[in-house]
Structure 1
Amino acid sequence: MTKEEKEQLKQLKKGAKPGKLAKRDAITGVLFISPWIVGAILFLAYPLITSFRYALNNISITPLGMNFNFVGYGNFTQILLSESDFVTNLIDYVVSTVISVPIIVVFALIISMMLNQKIKGKGFFRLIFFLPVIIVSGPILGMLNAQGAGSITSIDTQAITEAIKGFMPAALATPISKLFENMVTILWYSGVQILIFLSALQKIDRSMYEAAKIDGGSGWECFWKITLPNIKPMILLNIVYTIVFISNNDQNSIIGLIKTAMFSGTEEKGYGYASAMAWLYSVVVLLIVGLFSLVFLAKKDVYEKQVKRAKKAHKKEQRQLKKIERRSARNAKKNAKAAA
């Protein structure tokens, strides 16, 4: 082996092995995320597996324990074919969610941009918009909705409802009219989204706006060219958060149907039937999240090609290292034979 080959071999070995700092950072990262990994296994993966097992069985509770009668996909077919209330509420949920989620996110974006301006009492206004998130939750929200505080009166929305039903089919007109009636409740859901947008807006470099204004850019152009591209990941985050929040809300009629089926006490229904309902509902929620993700998912990073090139170069270096090692081994054998 020549000196040049030895030096090249040393350089490649140094580049292939991670340093002590990189190893320490990797270990620290694993330790930081280990509580989340353990929690996900115990409180997410195990309940999901158990729930799917329940969904494939007809479960009856006896004094001796739970009896499982395997029915396969019978619970799912029974729900889709005979549970008309569940299917109807599921369709209404999909339509209302697809309509209400953009309204909540756009409202949160507008309010966050207003609160990000230099105005007096900015902290007080932020408190006003976030206060419903703390107060209006769980039983309190149910009490307010029961008293009519979370909806606009039918007299005020009657003209809007009649106008919508005049030029739209009933399948779309009914959810949209309900959306206007429950506008107050929908706007109560925007507190967390406003905070997320505020944090994203405050991280945008102000020099970008100054440079755009020097070049003659208007406020509208700054919004489309600077603000919106920088907060696009937060838009997707808020959309996912809003969908999950609406889907898990106690006021959701599908959650009520699942609870009713769980504690019905009949032979046809029970834990297995309710688990099948929950799985169907979860699949629909995931499809809605996937739909919005396809629309708002950020484009590929500009530097992604450079990362791929770096990975290819690293693989090439590894192959060269192996070639040099094999070549040195062959040369060592030849030298040994020559010496013999």
Structure 2
Amino acid sequence: MTDAVVLVDPYPRTLAQIFDPDTRRRMASLAEVVWHDGPPAPDDLVEDVLGAAVAVVGQTPLPRERLLRAPQLRAVVNVEGNFLPNVDYETCFARGIHVLSAAPVFGPPVAELALGLAIAAARDIPAADAAIRTGREELFGGKNERAFLLAGSTLGLLGCGTLGRALLPLLRPFGGSVLVHDPWLQDAIVRDLGAEPVGLDELFVRSRIVFVLAAPTTENAGLVGRDQLGAMAAGAVVVLVSRSPVVDWDALLDAASSGRIRVAIDVFPEEPIPADDVVRSLPNSVLSAHRAGNVPEIWPRIGRMVADDLEWILRGLPPQRLQAARPETVARLRSRPIG
């Protein structure tokens, strides 16, 4: 046991969800851990540990005045997966406090579901299932006029951060061109990833499927609008698995309703989805209730990643497993809490 104190306040996650017994023991070997489960830690608990805390794990509010009362603090770890406005980032950067996110753990499960949604939409799998259940199926798929193969198709990624880099290896076996539009990535980086950098409009004109993977920022609200959706080839697919503010929601619903394109959606402007929301009867769509990253086997990985990086930080080394906030970009993010 060391003199260092770590506050673990993971709401809306739970301790049992992300910290298995082995990881809890490992954390306890690194520092004195104050474990708090359930609703967010009350102010008196946070204030009690601030003076000795070397790390806060969770979405605990840490405005500047609180950070000034935490002279030993070396790390703040968000276990939701986003960089939220609960932290005074400027103060953290000025003091050399690492602000980290568990986002990397969500890349593989979200990428897998994104691919599944794309295949389901391209091959009309939900409609075929529904036809059998209602006695309307056509043997061998009938004419199957709407179906197309991902193999050999041009596929597009809007955003190539954590999610995009997890999806790229899953797309390569299909053998088609992969286009990327990401204004935060240099073209050379995109080419090194085996993809072709393109402008926003070109992405939608050329791609048979566009995966919307970009995080919401101050610059990209409603970025995907009627012009981009209208430029897509008939029968093309939009897969939305990042956050809904990136698209013009009404334009997306209209494009699907028109029958020109298909959409596969895992995230919505209002969650839970209202009972009377028109999206529930949206044609030409595959719908998933924000479940892309919610796979039980990934949750303990968050705890292990936290322990890995906490050990490194306490040894005076930079974290390697979690995603680090960057001064140049974090202020532009517009993520919202999930709880």
Q: Shorter chain as normaliser: what TM range? A: under 0.3
More strand by share: 2
TM-score, normalising length from structure 2?
Answer: 0.26
Greater gyration radius: 1
Q: Per residue, is there more helix in 1 or in 2?
A: 1
Higher RCO, 1 vs 2 (CA within 8 Å, ≥6 residues apart): 1
